[in-house]
């Protein structure tokens, strides 16, 4: 015959496991993958993802510093560096917005955790 204490203990343990998995799932849901419709959006999304994923990154960070930080954390930034160069030429050099592949920028943003829920960067949107 199983004692009441044992049943109570088992139920309690089950509760803890259930609630822990619920909290874990809720935390995971807070970050969702985002997609971007332009190079500009991709970098806006990456900026938001960076601010969320690297809280000690100072607000005055530059792209070069951010890339160096990502690289030191083991993120392969080489594939997105070409897109960054084109984006900077557009942003600071007055060049037209280039038609370059920005998927790598989106990939890096998603790799570091995507955008926090409820935040939107330009035309970047949260995907499912």
Q: How far is the CB of 86 from another protein (least distance, A)?
A: 12
Provide the token pair at 32.
Answer: 């969702």
Contact 123, 34 (CB under 8 A): no
| Distance (Å, whole) CA 49 – CA 106 | 10
Closest by alpha carbon to 42, among 111, 117, 109, 126?
Answer: 109
Q: Is 94 in the site for another protein (CB under 8 A)?
A: yes
Q: Is 100 in the site for another protein (CB under 8 A)?
A: no
Quick one: how many helices (H) and strands (E) in the chain?
5, 4
- Cβ distance to another protein smaller for residue 20 or 95: 95
Closest by alpha carbon to 92, among 100, 103, 84?
Answer: 84
Residues 54-93 that bind another protein (CB under 8 A): 58-65, 88-89, 91-93
- Cβ distance to another protein smaller for residue 81 or 88: 88
Q: Is 118 in the site for another protein (CB under 8 A)?
A: no
Q: How far is the CB of 42 from another protein (least distance, A)?
A: 12
* Interface residue list for another protein (CB under 8 A): 43, 47, 58-65, 88-89, 91-94
């Amino acid at each position: 015959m199983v004692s009441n204490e044992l049943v109570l203990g088992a139920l309690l343990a089950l509760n803890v496991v259930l609630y822990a998995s619920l909290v874990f799932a809720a935390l995971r849901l807070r970050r969702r993958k985002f997609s971007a419709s332009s190079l500009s959006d991709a970098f806006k999304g990456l900026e938001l993802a960076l601010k969320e994923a690297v809280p000690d990154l100072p607000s005055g960070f530059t792209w070069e510093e951010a890339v160096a930080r990502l690289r030191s954390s083991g993120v392969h930034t080489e594939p997105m560096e070409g897109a960054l160069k084109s984006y900077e030429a557009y942003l600071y050099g007055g060049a037209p917005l280039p038609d370059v592949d920005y998927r790598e920028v989106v990939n890096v943003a998603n790799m570091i955790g995507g955008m926090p829920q409820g935040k939107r960067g330009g035309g970047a949107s949260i995907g499912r």
